Structure 1
C-alpha cells in the first residue's frame, strides 16, 4: 500500500486545543502517513442558506478530505455532557454534501477534556451521531484523556505511559483496518 492518508478532525477550534494535540500525537503514533487536520471553521448549518446558496465550498472540501482519507481520527472535547457544537455542525453539513464520504470509512474516536471522565460521555454521543453515516468505528481501546491540560509534555507528547500505550494500540488497530 502507498503511504496512507490520515485525516484528523478536532471538535475544538481553540488555538492550542488539547484535542488537536491529541490528534497530532495519534498521527505520530500511527506512523508513516500523509496527515492532514481538517478545518471545521464552517458557517452554522441553515437549511434556508443551503437552499439559496448550496453547500459551502469549505464543506465540500471537508467532505472530499474525508472521502480521500484512508482513515479518519476524530477527537472531541466535552461540552455539557456532549460533543462540541462545532463538530456536530460539521457532521450536519457533510451529510448535505453529494459526496457521502463516511460509508465504510475506518474511524477512530477519542476525546480530551478537563474533567475526570476525559470526555467519555461526549465520545459516546459522538458515536451515536455517526451511526447514520455507517463508518467502521473502532471499538477500542477507548481514549478518554482526563485532566488534559496536564497530560502533554513540552514536545506535545503524552506524559502518561498508559495513555501512550492505549493510543499506540488504537493507532495500530486503525492501521490494520486499512491494511497498512
Structure 2
C-alpha cells in the first residue's frame, strides 16, 4: 500500500510533522512517502496568476496525491484555520482538479500547543475536505503537544497514545474493507 503523508505546515520545527512521523511507525511494510510543503512553495494564488497557468509544484503535489492509495495528514492551525502554506497549495490544486484528493482514504490529525489540539482546523477540515475528495476514515487530535509528546520518544501520555492507536486501528480496518 502506498501512503502519502504530510503536515499542513511549512515550519522547520513543525509539531504536526513530528506527529505524522511518529504515526508512520505504525505502518511498517507500507510504501510511505512523507511530503514537505516547503518543496511545493508557489506564488500566492490569484485568478490573475491563474491566467498565466499553474505552477509545476501544484502539478507535482497533485501527482503525489493521485498516486497514493491512502493519505495521512496532520493539519497545523493558524488563527483558527489552515496554515497559509497548506491553504495556498489547496487553492492551486483545487483549480486544476475539482476533487484534488481523488477520494483517497485519509487519517486526518492535528495537534497544537494549546488545549484544543487544533480543534478549529479539524472542524473546518471535516466539514469541507469531503468536497475536495478527501474520504476521512478516522481522526485524531492531540492537545498540549509539548506536555504530551517528546521528540525522539513520541506520545508520552498513555491516554492519548491509546486514542491515536484506536484511530489508526479504525483507519486500517476500514482500508481492509476496500
Give TM class, smaller chain: 0.7 to 0.9
Secondary structure at the aligned position of 2:150 is classed as coil
- Which string of whole-angstrom CA distances, capped at 9 and with x for unpartnered residues, describes residues 88-146 of structure 1? 212111112259542321011111101111111111112223132232112x4x42211
- Residue 173 (1) aligns with residue 166 (2): no
Higher RCO (CA < 8 A, seq sep 6+): 1
- The size of the alignment, in residue pairs, is 174
- What are structure 2's unaligned runs of at least 5 residues? none
Secondary structure at the aligned position of 2:95 is classed as coil
- Residue 157 (1) aligns with residue 154 (2): yes
Aligned partner (choices 12, 15, 20) of residue 18 of structure 1: 15
Structure 1 residue 56: deviation in Å? 1.1
Report runs of 4+ in structure 1 exceeding 6 Å deviation.
none
Of Structure 1 and Structure 2, the greater strand share is in: 2
Aligned partner (choices 35, 38, 41) of residue 35 of structure 2: 38
CA RMSD, Structure 1 to Structure 2 (Å): 2.0
Determine the C-alpha separation between the residues in 2 that align with 1:154 and 1:113.
14
Aligned to 1:102: 101
**2:99 touches 2:131 (CA, 8 Å); kept in 1?**
no
- What are structure 1's unaligned runs of at least 5 residues? none
Please give the TM-score of this superposition, normalised by the length of structure 1.
0.86
Please give the TM-score of this superposition, normalised by the length of structure 2.
0.87
Determine the C-alpha separation between the residues in 2 that align with 1:156 and 1:93.
36
